[in-house]
A and B are shown apart, each in its own frame.
Chain A
Amino acid sequence: MSIAEKTKAMRSGVAIAGLLVAVSIAGGGVTTAAQAACDLQFKPEEGAELTMLRWKRFIQSEEDAFMKIVENFKNDCGVTINVQNESLDDVQPKASVAANVDQGPDMVWGLYSLPHLFPNKLVDVTDVADLLAEKYGPWVPSAVKYGKKAGTDEWIDIPIAYNGNYINYRKSALEKAGVDKVPATTDEFLEAARKMKEAGMPVGMALGHATGDGNAWVHWALWAHGGSLVDENDQVIINSPETKQAVEYVKELYGYMAPGVAAWNDSNNNKAFMSGEVGMTNNGASIYPAAKKDSPEIAEDMDHAAWPIGPVGKPTEFHIAYPMMIFTYSKYPNAAKGFIEYLFQPEQYDMWLQAAVAYLTPPLEKYESNSVFTDDPKLSVFADAARNTLTAGYEGSVGEKAASALAEFIVLDMFANAATGNMSVDDAIAQAERQAKRVYR
Chain B
Amino acid sequence: MADAAIGTRAVPAEPTAWSRLKTNRHWLGAWFMMPAAAFLILFLAYPLGLGIWLSMTDARIGRDGIFVGLENFIWLADDPIFWLSVFNTLLYTGVASVFKFAIGLYLALLLNHHLPFKAFLRAMVLLPFIVPTVLSAIAFWWMYDPQFSIISWSLKELGWIDTNINFLGDPWNARWSVIFANIWRGVPFVAITLLAGLQTVPPSLYEAATIDGASRWQMFRYITYPMLTPIIAVVMTFSVLFTFTDFQLIWAITRGGPVNATHLMATLSYQRAILGGYLGEGAAISTAMIPFLLAAIMFSWFGLQRRKWQQGEADD
CB neighbours (8 Å) of B274 from chain A are 92-93, 96-97
Q: Which of chain B's residues have a CB closer than 8 A to the CB of A207? A: 258
Q: Are A117 and B146 in contact (CB under 8 A)?
A: no
Decide: B257 and A272 in contact? CB cutoff 8 A.
no
11 A–B contacts from the bound complex (CB under 8 Å): A92-B274, A96-B277, A261-B146, A262-B259, A263-B257, A263-B258, A277-B147, A404-B276, A408-B276, A416-B258, A420-B171
Query: How many contacting A-B pairs (Cβ < 8 A)?
Result: 114
Q: Which residues of A contact B61 (CB under 8 A)?
A: 96, 99-100, 117-118
Interface size on B, residues (CB 8 A): 38
Q: Which residue of B lies closest to A430 (CB)?
A: B80
Asked if A51 lies at the interface with its beta carbon under 8 angstroms from chain B, I say: no
Residues of chain A with a CB closer than 8 A to B229's CB: none
Tell me, yes or no, whether A397 is within 8 Å of chain B by CB.
Answer: no
Let me know if B255 is at the binding interface, CB within 8 A: yes
Q: Does B244 contact A (CB under 8 A)?
A: no
A254 shortest CB reach to chain B, Å: 10
A121 interface residue, CB < 8 Å from B? yes
The answer to whether A416 and B259 have CB atoms under 8 Å apart is yes
User: Could you list 5 further interchain pairs (A-B, Cβ under 8 angstroms) beyond the known A96-B277, A117-B277, A263-B257?
Assistant: A258-B147, A259-B163, A260-B147, A260-B164, A263-B254
Q: Does A403 contact B (CB under 8 A)?
A: yes
Residue A370 is within 8 A (CB to CB) of chain B in the complex:
no
Minimum C-beta distance from A407 to chain B (A): 4
Q: Is the CB of A259 within 8 A of B164?
A: yes
Task: Identify the interface centre among B62, B63, B80, B275: most chain A CB within 10 Å of its CB.
Answer: B62
Assembled-state Cα–Cα distance A99/B60 (Å): 11
Cα–Cα distance between A120 and B63 once the two chains are bound (Å) = 8
Is B62 a contact of A420 with CB atoms below 8 Å? Answer: no
A260 to B166, CA, bound (A): 5
With A259-B163, A268-B147 given, is the CB distance from A120 to B62 under 8 Å? yes
CA distance A420 to B173 in the complex (A): 13
Q: Nearest CB to that of B260 among chain A residues? A: A413
CB atoms of B259 and A413 under 8 A apart? yes
> With the chains together, A120 CA to B168 CA distance in Å?
39
B177: nearest chain-A partner, CB-CB: A263
Minimum CB–CB distance from A200 to chain B (whole Å) comes to: 11
Instruction: Determine whether the beta carbon of A262 is less than 8 Å from that of B276.
Output: no
Partner of B257 from the list A92, A208, A277 (CB cut-off 8 Å) is: A208
Specify the chain A residue showing the minimal Cβ separation from B168: A263
Contacts of B83 in A (CB 8 A): none
A262 B80 Cβ-Cβ under 8 A: no
* Cα distance, A439 to B281, chains bound together (Å): 12
Contacting pair A407 B276 (CB below 8 A): yes
B272 interface residue (CB < 8 Å to A): yes
B278 within 8 A of A: yes
Contacts of A272 in B (CB 8 A): 147
- Is B75 on the interface with A (CB-CB < 8 A)? yes
Within the assembled complex, what's the spacing in Å between the Cα atoms of A291 and B260?
34
Question: A171 — which chain B residues lie within 8 A by C-beta?
Answer: none
CA distance A120 to B170 in the complex (A): 41
Instruction: Report how far A332 CA is from B287 CA in the complex, Å.
Output: 39
Contact of A268 among B146, B163, B275 (CB under 8 A): B146
**What residues of B have a CB within 8 angstroms of the CB of A408 in the complex?**
271-272, 275-276
User: Would you give the shortest CB distance from A152 to chain B, in whole angstroms?
Assistant: 17
Question: Is A387 on the interface with B (CB-CB < 8 A)?
Answer: no
Q: Which residues in A have their C-beta under 8 angstroms from that of B62? A: 96, 99-100, 117-118, 120-121
Query: A259 touches which one: B169, B259, B260, B275 (CB < 8 A)?
Result: B169
A271 within 8 A of B: yes
Contacts of B256 in A (CB 8 A): 209
From 287 to 323 in chain A, residues with beta carbon under 8 angstroms from any chain B beta carbon are none
Q: Return the CB mask of A401-441 against B: 1 if under 8 Å, else 0.
A: 00110011000010011001011000000010001001100
Chain B contacts with A in 237-275, Cβ cutoff 8 A? 254-261, 270-272, 274-275
Q: Does A400 contact B (CB under 8 A)?
A: yes
Binary flags per residue of B101-142, CB closer than 8 Å to A gives 1, else 0: 000000000000000000000000000000000000000000
Q: Which residue of B lies closest to A427 (CB)?
A: B80
Q: Is B189 an interface residue (CB 8 A)?
A: no
Task: Point out the residues of chain A lying under 8 angstroms from B81, CB to CB.
Answer: 431, 435
| Chain B residues, CB < 8 A from A92 | 274-275
Write the chain B residue with the least CB distance to A101. B62
